[in-house]
Structure 1
Amino acid sequence: MSLRAKTAMYGLLCVLAIPFIFPTWWMVTSSVKPVSDIFAFPPSIIPSAISFDAYRDVFTLQPFAQQYWNSMYIAIVVTIGTLCVASMAGYAFARIKFPGANALFLVILTGLLIPSEVTIVPLFQMFNSWGLIDTHWPLIWVPIFGAPSVLATFIMRQFFLALPNELEEAARMDGLGRFAMFRQIALPLARPALGAVAIFTFLHSWNLYLEPIVFLSSSEKFTLPQALTQFVDAYGGPMWNIQLSAASLTAIPVLVVFVIAQRQFIEGLAHTGLKG
Structure 2
Amino acid sequence: MSRTRALQALASRAGLYVVLLLAAALFVLPGLWMVTASLNSNDAVFSYPPRFFPTQWNWENYRTVFEVQPFARQYLNSLYIAVLATAGTVLVSTMAGYALARFRFRGRNGIFLLLISGILIPEEVTVVPLYRIVNSLGLIDTHWPLIVLPIFSGGGVIATFIMRQAFLSLPKELEDAARLDGLGRWGTYWRVAVPLVRPTVAVVVILSVYNSWNMFLEPLIFLRTPENFTLPLVLTEIEDAYGTQLWNVQMAATTLSILAVLVVFVAAQRHVIAGLTAGSVKG
- Report the TM range for the smaller structure's normalisation: over 0.9
Amino acid at match of 1:91: Y
Query: What is the RMSD of the two structures over their aligned residues, measured on CA atoms?
Result: 1.9
Amino acid at match of 1:222: F
Matched positions, count? 270
- Aligned counterpart in structure 1 of residue 268 of structure 2, from 255, 261, 264: 261
> Is the counterpart of residue 179 in structure 1 residue 186 in structure 2?
yes
Q: Within 2, Cα distance between the matches of 1:255 and 1:9?
A: 27
Gaps of 5+ in 2: 1-7, 277-283
Q: Within 2, Cα distance between the matches of 1:80 and 1:2?
A: 48
**Structure 1 residue 268, shift from structure 2 partner:** 8.4
% identical equivalent positions:
51
- Aligned counterpart in structure 2 of residue 55 of structure 1, from 58, 62, 68: 62
TM-score (norm 2): 0.91
Q: Within 2, Cα distance between the matches of 1:199 and 1:206?
A: 10
Q: Within 2, Cα distance between the matches of 1:64 and 1:57?
A: 10
> Is the counterpart of residue 155 in structure 1 residue 139 in structure 2?
no
Q: Is the 8 A contact 1:195 1:265 kept in 2?
A: yes
Q: Within 1, Cα distance between the matches of 2:37 and 2:151?
A: 36
Amino acid at match of 1:153: T
**Which residue number corresponds to residue 51 of structure 2?**
44
**Structure 1 residue 126, shift from structure 2 partner:** 0.7
Q: Is the 8 A contact 1:199 1:265 kept in 2?
A: no
> Is the counterpart of residue 196 in structure 1 residue 188 in structure 2?
no
**Which residue number corresponds to residue 144 of structure 1?**
151
Amino acid at match of 1:32: L
Amino acid at match of 1:84: L
Q: Is the 8 A contact 1:196 1:266 kept in 2?
A: no
TM-score (norm 1): 0.93
**Which residue number corresponds to residue 217 of structure 2?**
210
- Aligned counterpart in structure 1 of residue 259 of structure 2, from 252, 255, 265: 252
**Structure 1 residue 260, shift from structure 2 partner:** 1.2
Q: Is the 8 A contact 1:55 1:245 kept in 2?
A: yes
Amino acid at match of 2:249: I
**Which residue number corresponds to residue 9 of structure 1?**
16
- Aligned counterpart in structure 2 of residue 115 of structure 1, from 112, 122, 146: 122
Select the structure of larger CA radius of gyration. Answer: 2
Q: Within 1, Cα distance between the matches of 2:164 and 2:17?
A: 36
Q: Give the 4+ runs in structure 1 shifted more than 6 A.
A: 266-269
